[in-house]
Structure 1
Amino acid sequence: MRQTPAEPWADDLELLRAAAREAGRAVMGFFRNDPHVSWKNGGRSPVTEADFAANRILADRLRPARPDYGWLSEESDDDASRLSHETLFVIDPIDGTRAFIAGEPTWVVSAAVVHRGRPVAGVLYAPVMEEEFTAVAGGPALRNGAAISVNAVRPDGPLRLACGKDMLGLFESGFAARIERAPHVPSLAYRLAMVADGRLDATLVRPDAQDWDLAAAELVLEAAGGALCDCNGEAIAYNRPDVSHGFLCAAAAPLIGPLLRHFSWPREG
């Protein structure tokens, strides 16, 4: 089995890139073309024929190329055998399905390789915007081949933050005065990429984000000098029996501590 860091995972990254681009190009035929929509998770989450089409392409390209890897995708039935694999693909065929349905450009094909609970190769491909974010463990974060990094946030400077409007009231008043709330972007993966390239300073994530929403984007963020953590400041682990996560915070690494200190995290459940 392959080991970290960087160089051993470069081939996997190229495999992810090719598959994500093929899937992204294919689903552009559904975009702004009234795709069929159905509902899952008790009617809370939309899914389109484009999601399933992208999932088929990704599975057809990735699984035969790495038959010893496990598989976890939002649009595939979960197979507990993935837990026996040290390495697996973690896939969201379209992250930001609501944006896709609305004809908005901020959706991505998200594909990652996770090894021993952590992402080691990842790509986010946004075909409408012609953006590709990539990272491999030990390497730089890239957008369309150029290195990106998080903002250098001043200790007392303004902060551009993506979060629910109700969450602003949970910050201490002095800290809240520094915050400019950014417009909502439905794709969590793309929001993390926006932190990675400095368009956002941070984002707060409500409970129930899934492994496939996070894995590729977290690696890009980490490689760009950022961090994703839970409300205790701990890194998250992937490929557990339960792939959902609680409250999370993503930011430039030096900003994580102040955000955790000045925010009253709601009780979960």
Structure 2
Amino acid sequence: MCDVRTARWQRDLELIAGAAKQAGDVALGFFNQSPEVWWKNGGRSPVSAADFAANEKLESILRLARPDYGWLSEETEDSAARLSAETLFVIDPIDGTRAFLGGLDLWCVSVAVVHRGRPVAGVLYAPALDELFEAVEGGAAMKNGEPIAVSANEPGTVSRFAIGEDILKAFPDPFRLKIERVKHVPSLAYRIAMVADGRLEGTFVKRNSHDWDLAAADLILERAGGRLTDLDGRSVLYNRSEVSHAELCGAAGPRVAEFLEGLAEIRSS
């Protein structure tokens, strides 16, 4: 039974990887071409013609291939029907739209298959960087076909950490002085992938991230030897009625407890 399940998710991984590449190529055609832009969420978040075109490409491939799967995408109107789906696609056609519109290459297509609340196949495709991250339940995390792993730096050593400067300043001195704050990475999914491939030891995720920002990157980080958790150390659950999340921490496995302890001091202050 386990082999059947593994084979199923592997087939899904191949499907979503191909779809993400096609959607990424669509988006790349708009890159640095001044696509039309609209504003959503009360004018706080941009969405472009590229986001919609990439989303349409993903829908045309994935919904046809798996008509029994549910669907949750940042750029598709949500439907409560997904809550009754045991398995669904969780999509962000362009994670890092602001970077995309600003001509920065740190954006990606994020596609995950979520089963019973947890990702079982995930892909991040960054076409402007020619990078493809992949993971499947029970398998290795891969980047452009090669296995990746989280940083091997020991707890207590200086840590490359993606975190807002205002939050970093709130850390107690002994911990703060061991943090090397990295330049802002506009795509949350790509930032978590940077933890997965060892470029960062950890990242703090502010309140109000969403399923589509996280699901694929979560699995990639997990299979690379890391964890994405809430500040109480619990894994993230997906496909709930509420798709936004409280503060989270993504880190190399050996560093999770260390970072959560530091973050707990902020919460209690």
User: Which TM-score tier does this pair reach, normalised by the shorter chain?
Assistant: over 0.9
CA shift at 1:5, angstroms? 5.4
Equivalent residue of 1:220, what SS? Answer: helix
CA shift at 1:255, angstroms? 0.7
Aligned residues with identical type, % of pairs: 57
Larger helix percent: 2
Structure 1 partner of 2:18: 18
Once the two structures are superposed, the pairs formed by residues 66-85 of structure 1 within 5 Å of their partners are 66-85=66-85
Displaced runs of 4+ in structure 1, greater than 4 A?
A: 2-5
- Name the TM-score, length of structure 2 as normaliser: 0.96
Cα RMSD, aligned residues only: 1.4
CA contact (8 A) 2:154 2:255 kept: no
Counterpart amino acid of residue 174 in structure 2: G
In structure 1, the gaps of 5 or more residues are none
- Counterparts in 2 of 1:47 and 1:251: CA distance versus 1, 3 Å: same
CA contact (8 A) 1:207 1:247 kept: yes
Counterpart amino acid of residue 86 in structure 1: E
Structure 2 partner of 1:226: 226
CA contact (8 A) 1:4 1:137 kept: no
Equivalent residue of 1:170, what SS? Answer: coil
Equivalent residue of 1:214, what SS? Answer: helix
Structure 2 partner of 1:7: 7
Q: Deviations over 1:63-113 (max 9, x none)?
A: 010011000000000010000000000000000000000000000000000
> 1:265 and 1:51 mapped to 2: Cα distance?
36
Counterpart amino acid of residue 147 in structure 2: A
Equivalent residue of 2:232, what SS? Answer: coil
- Counterparts in 2 of 1:118 and 1:4: CA distance versus 1, 3 Å: farther
Structure 2 partner of 1:45: 45
Is the deviation greater in 80-89 or in 151-160?
151-160
Counterpart amino acid of residue 217 in structure 1: A
Structure 1 partner of 2:100: 100
Structure 2 partner of 1:180: 180
> 2:212 and 2:122 mapped to 1: Cα distance?
11
In structure 2, the gaps of 5 or more residues are none
Q: Deviations over 1:165-198 (max 9, x none)?
A: 0011222210111110000011000000000000
Equivalent residue of 2:251, what SS? Answer: strand
CA contact (8 A) 2:160 2:181 kept: yes
Equivalent residue of 1:39, what SS? Answer: strand
